[in-house]
Amino acid sequence: MSDNESSTSQSSPGNDKQAQSIVDRLVFAALKEQTRARRWRVGFMLFFIVYISVVTIVFLSGSGDMDLEADGDKHTALVKLSGVIASGEAAGSENVISGLKSAFKHGDTAGIVIEINSPGGSPVQSAYIFDEIMRLKQEHKSIPVYAVVVDMAASGGYFVAAAADKIYANQSSLVGSIGVRMDAFGFVELMKKIGVERRLLTAGENKGLFDPFLPEQSEQKAHLQSMLNEVHGHFIDAVKLGRGDRLVENDDTFSGLIWSGEKALALGLVDAYGTTRSIARELEAEDIVDFTPKANLLERVADRIGSSVGRGISEYFLGNMAIN
């Protein structure tokens, strides 16, 4: 045997091992890539199935408006007004009026309860709801309308409640705040301290009305106060129209003060203590049907996510705080 043949024979086992190692690595890499690709396919399919399911549910759920068939069994119709009364919000006029119309239209409605839990909001949106309740009551004189104050019916919330035939509350509910407000700030002195000059050009001498960076002008303030008084007058007229001679007027009635349900009862702002359930019993229509328009599924999910994120941020920075 020659030296070359001897050398080749001795080195071949090592070469074989190296070659096998390379093959093993290539096979492992191929299997790993296949597994990764399979996971992506499975993940994509799951996402696609969930997406199709959500779209289908949203399509079927629509806006959530009630579409019940009359079956002869009388019920108490419920329309909830919760939160700030503003355009585009759940307590906005379009949403609330839609629920009221559906409740009045249903053939088995024995009475309607507007369940209010609101600090107020837009005087215009509140007036829209008040006017529509009054109109619907004239169209459907056989269907009584009740307002139930849960935690609060203040300002615009009470504006709406005043349209009801009767207002019910809890002894500890907050009721009233018959007034109008406008908030502003003045930064004139601060601007002077930090050396900032305000430069404003307007076409129209009052176009910069109540600019927070300019000194307050008595004429503009008087104009705004007059406007607030007018809106306040509209509010007072609505309350007087709705409550009639049940209202006990004194110097504080329309001052913007807020009262407990107990005091509100004494002032004629509410008629009695009660709940939606107790009213349903009085109507002998204990089946309560909620006609409050519901957001579609995607809107509810978005609201829940937004609420969870907001709560998490609040708890992170402020801790669990509450007023007891």
Cα 288 to Cα 117, 140, 281: the distances in Å are 18, 19, 10
Q: Under a CB-based contact definition with an 8 Å cutoff, are residues 77 and 113 in contact?
A: yes
Highest mean pLDDT, choosing among 15-24, 46-55, 166-175, 213-222: 166-175
Number of Cβ atoms within 10 Å of the Cβ of 11:
10
Per-residue pLDDT of 192-213, as tens digits, reads 899 988 888 999 988 988 888 8
| DSSP letter (8 states) at residue 154 | E
pTM above 0.75, yes or no: no
Q: Are 263 and 172 in contact (CB under 8 A)?
A: no
Q: Which of 120-124, 267-271, 315-319 has the lowest mean pLDDT?
A: 315-319
> Does residue 118 contact residue 83 with C-beta atoms inside 8 Å?
yes
Q: How far apart are CA 168 and CA 213, in angstroms?
A: 46
Average pLDDT over all residues of the chain: 83
Q: What is the pLDDT of residues 65-121, one digit of tens each?
A: 455 666 679 999 999 999 999 999 999 999 999 999 999 999 999 999 999 999 999
Amino acid making up residue 142: S
pLDDT tens track for 291-320:
999 865 555 455 555 544 444 544 444 344
Residue 323 CA: distances (Å) to CA of 134, 203, 320: 37, 48, 10
Q: From 138, 145, 143, 149, select the one nearest 164 (Cα to Cα).
A: 145
Q: Which residues lie closer than 8 Å to 134 by C-beta, 6 or more apart?
A: 163, 241
